[in-house]
Structure 1
Amino acid sequence: MAASPRRITAAICTYERYDLLPGAITSALSQSLPTDAFEVIVVDNSPDPVRSGQEAAAFARFPNLSWYHEAKPGLSNARNVAARHAASPIIAYLDDDARADPVWLENIAGCFDQFGEALKVVGGRIRPWWGAPRPAWLADEMLGAITVVDLGPERRLLREGEWVAGANIAFRIDALRDAGWFDTSLGRTGGGASLLSSEETALTDRIKAQGGLVAYDPLGAVEHWVDPERLTQRWFRRRSAWQAVSDYLRDPKGRLAQREESWLAVKAFLLHQNPADRTLRGLALEQPEAEDFRWQSAAVYNAVTALLAGLDERDDL
C-alpha cells in the first residue's frame, strides 16, 4: 500500500542557534498526530555546512525529518525553501527558539479543516518563555515586541486590526505560491544586527487581498524564548526603530501619509521632557515607569517614520 499523504509540515528555519534548536526540533517531532501524518523540515542558514551536517546527524534516525543547509542567507528565503520542499498542503513555521505543545500541529490542522479551503493562514498562541525576570517597565501592551500573542480562548477568524506572529504561523502552500512567497527584502538576515521584520504580515496582507481568510487557534500553541538580552530598554528602542523601517518598506504610501502625524507625536513626547533632554537624547534615556517607556518607544517609532517619510525643516515654535 502507498504511504498515506502528509497532512501538515512543521518547518524550523535556523541560524547558529544550536543551543536551542534541538529543543524546538524535539517538540516538533513529539506531536500527537501519527508519525506518517506530518513531517519536520529544518532549514539551516548557518554559515558552516560541516557543522550543520554534524548537527543534522543527531536526528538522522527520524524518518519524518529532513534537514537542508541553505547557503543563501535570510529568514524569508529559508521559509520559502522549506515550503518548496514540503510534502504536504500546509506548512506550519516554528521558530528555532520555541517549543511546540504536543497538540500544536493537531490543532493547527484541525483549524484549517474546520474553516475549509477559504482559510489560508492560521496563527497560534505564543507564550513567553522568560530567560530572565520580566522587568517592571515592560507593560502588557508591549509584549508583542517580544512575540507574545494571546487573542483569547476561542478558535476563530481574526478581527480587523488583529495579527498573528511568525514564531507560530501556518499557511496553505498554494496560498503562499499564489501570493508570491515570502518577500526576501523583509525579515531577519544573519544574527541580531538587523531587526527587520513584518515579512509574515506583508504576506498575510497579500493573501487577504486575494480573498483568503486568517484564523487564530489558542490550542495550536508554543512557548517562545525571551532572551535576557532583549529585556532591556535599549533593545526595545532598537526594536521600535526597526519596526518603523519594516512598516515603511511594507507600506511606504501609508507611512508617507502619516509623516505630519508622526512628527507631532514625537514633538509631544519631547516637550514633556526636561528642557535639557528635548533632543535625540530624550529618545534614549532610561524610563523607570512602564507608561513613560511605552510613550518613549512610540516616539522612537514615530521619529524614524517621520524621517523616512521625508520630514523637512520647519518652524515648530
Structure 2
Amino acid sequence: MAAPTRRITAAICTYERYDLLPGAIESALSQSLPSDAYEVIVVDNSPDPVRSGQEAAAFARHPNLSWYHEAKPGLSNARNVAARHAASPIVAYLDDDARADPVWLENIAACFDQYGPALKVVGGRIRPWWGAPRPAWLSDEMLGNVTVVDHGEERRLLGDGEWVAGANIAFRIDALRDVGWFDTSLGRTGGGASLLSAEETAVTDRIRALGGLVAYDPLAAVEHWVDPERLTQRWFRRRAAWQAVSDYLRDPKERFAKRDDAWLAVKSFLLQQNPADRTLRGLALEKSGASEFRWQVSAVYNAVTALLAGLDEHDDL
C-alpha cells in the first residue's frame, strides 16, 4: 500500500443538493492547513452523471479536490467510496448542507495527534444554521434531532452514551477498514423519503468494541443548515419513527429487551390525553408546549420500537 500523501481528507457526500453543495466545498477548500496538507473529496450520488460533471467542472481549478460520481445510491456507500479514495490516514466527513469553520481540519488533525494512535474517531461542535425561526415548541433537549451537537468548551475523550454526528465526524481510515466500513444497510438513500440513520453510530460502536477511543473537539466546528421543512412537528414525529427503526436495525437485541418498557411508556402518554385522543390520533396531534411535544415524540419512538419488537397486550382483569 502506498504511503499517504496528505495529512487529512475532507469528504463531502451529496445527492442533488447543488444549491447548498458549493458552500460546503468552498468552506472545505478554505481551511487554515496548507493546501498540500489536505484534500477534498466529493462523492456525488445524484442520478444524472452529466449534471454531476458540469457541477464538478466549476471546481476543476483546485488541485487538491477530487470529484467522483457514484452510481450506487446510499450515504453509507458514498462514505465508503470517499474513504477508499482518500490519500491520507484520516477522513473527515462534512455534510453537503454544512459550512466548516476555517480551523476545522486543523483541530481535527491536532486532536488525533494529541491522543495518539488509540484515538480512532473525532467529532466536533455542530451549530444550527436556521432556515426559519426556531419554533417555541422546540426545546433544547430536542436539538439533537436537527443535528445540533455541543459537548462543552474543552477538547476531551467521550464516554459511553455520548455521541457525535455524521455532519461533522472524522475517522482513522484503518479503523473503518478493520470494522468492515460503514454498514450499507443503514443510512439514507436518495432524497428525503427515508430518514434511516445511525450508520455513523453503528460504525463507532464497532470501533469502540475493539478498544478505539472517541473524542470531541469544540473548535472543529461547523454550521449545519436546518431546513424550514424540518421545523414542523410532523417532521419531528417522522424523525422519531425512523430513529426507532434505525436503532432497532443497529442493535435489535437491545431494542427487543426494552419492548415492554417502550409499550408502557406509550400507554402512560396516551392515558394522559383526552379520552378521544387515546389512539394513534394522540401521537399525531399538534402540541403547543415544548414539554408536551417532547413527550409525544418520545411516545412515537417508543410505539415504533414496541411494534418492531412485537406487542403482547392483555386485557386487565
Q: TM-score, normalised by structure 1?
A: 0.98
The equivalent residue for 2:75 is 75
Q: Which runs of 5+ in 2 are unaligned?
A: none
Once residues 108 and 23 of structure 2 are traced to their aligned partners in structure 1, the CA distance between those partners, rounded to angstroms, is 20
Aligned 8 A contact 1:4 1:37 in 2? no
Contact 2:4 2:88 in 1 (8 A): no
Is residue 290 of structure 2 the alignment partner of residue 293 of structure 1? no
Output the amino acid matched with 2:288.
P
Equivalent residues in 2 for 1:147-162 (5 A)?
147-162=147-162
CA contact (8 A) 2:4 2:87 kept: no
Alpha-carbon distance in structure 2 between the residues aligned to 1:130 and 1:259: 35
Tell me which residue corresponds to 2:102.
Answer: 102
| CA positional deviation for 1:161 | 1.2
CA distance in 1, matches of 2:251, 2:97: 29
Residue by residue over 1:255-302, the C-alpha shift from the partner in whole angstroms, topping out at 9 and shown as x without a partner, is 110010000000000000000000000000000000000000000000
In structure 1, distance between residues paired with 2:115 and 2:162: 18
Partner deviation per Cα, 1:179-223 (whole Å, 9 max, x = no partner): 110000000000000000000000000000000000000000000
- Counterpart-to-counterpart distance in 1, 2:315 and 2:37: 65
Residue of structure 2 in register with 1:21 after alignment: 21
The structural deviation recorded for 1:313 is 3.7
Q: What is the match of residue 111 of structure 1?
A: 111
1:27-54 deviation per Cα after TM superposition (whole angstroms, max 9, x unaligned)? 0000000000000000000000000000
Q: What is the count of residue pairs matched by the alignment?
A: 315
Secondary structure of residue in 1 paired with 2:221:
strand
Give the corresponding residue for 1:137: 137
Displacement of 1:4 after TM fit? 8.8
Mean Cα deviation higher: 153-162 or 231-240: 153-162
Contact 1:90 1:172 in 2 (8 A): yes
Alpha-carbon distance, 1:314 to partner:
1.6
Q: Percent identity?
A: 87
Equivalent residue, structure 2, for 1:38: 38
Residue of structure 2 in register with 1:226 after alignment: 226
- AA in 1 matched with 2:119: L
Q: What is the Cα deviation at residue 173 of structure 1?
A: 0.1
Secondary structure of the corresponding residue to residue 248 of structure 2: helix
Match of 2:66 in 1: 66
Question: Residue 5 of structure 1: CA displacement?
Answer: 2.6
What does 1:137-286 align with in structure 2 at a 5 Å threshold? 137-286=137-286
Q: Which position in structure 2 is the counterpart of 1:50?
A: 50
Q: Deviations over 1:1-21 (max 9, x none)?
A: xx9930000000000000000
Output the CA distance in 1 between the equivalents of 2:111 and 2:244.
32
- 1:4–1:36 Cα contact (<8 Å) kept: no
Say if 1:5 and 1:88, in contact at 8 Å, map to a contact too.
Answer: yes
> Equivalent residue of 2:56, what SS?
helix
CA contact (8 A) 1:76 1:186 kept: yes
Following superposition, the deviation at residue 312 of structure 1 comes to 2.6
Q: Match of 2:202, as an amino acid?
A: A
SS in 1 for 2:169: strand
Q: Distance in 2 between matches of 1:265 and 1:312?
A: 14
Q: Which amino acid in the other structure matches residue 6 of structure 1? A: R
Q: 1:17 to 1:86 in 2, by over 3 A?
A: same
Distance 2:8 2:166 in 1: 17
Offset, 1:160: 2.3
1:236-268 superposed Cα distances (whole Å, 9 cap, x missing partner):
000000000000000000011001000000000
- Give me the whole-angstrom Cα distance separating, in 2, the residues matched to 1:159 and 1:68: 36
- For 1:80 and 1:200, how far apart are their aligned partners in 2? 11
**CA apart distance, 1:315:** 1.4
SS at match of 1:120: strand
In the superposition, relative to structure 1, how do residues 264 and 178 fare at CA in structure 2: closer, same or farther (>3 Å)?
same
Q: Which moved more, 1:196-205 or 1:157-166?
A: 157-166
Determine helix, strand or coil for the equivalent of 2:39: strand
Q: By how many angstroms is 1:316 displaced?
A: 4.7
TM-score, with length taken from structure 2: 0.98
SS of the residue aligned with 1:43?
A: strand
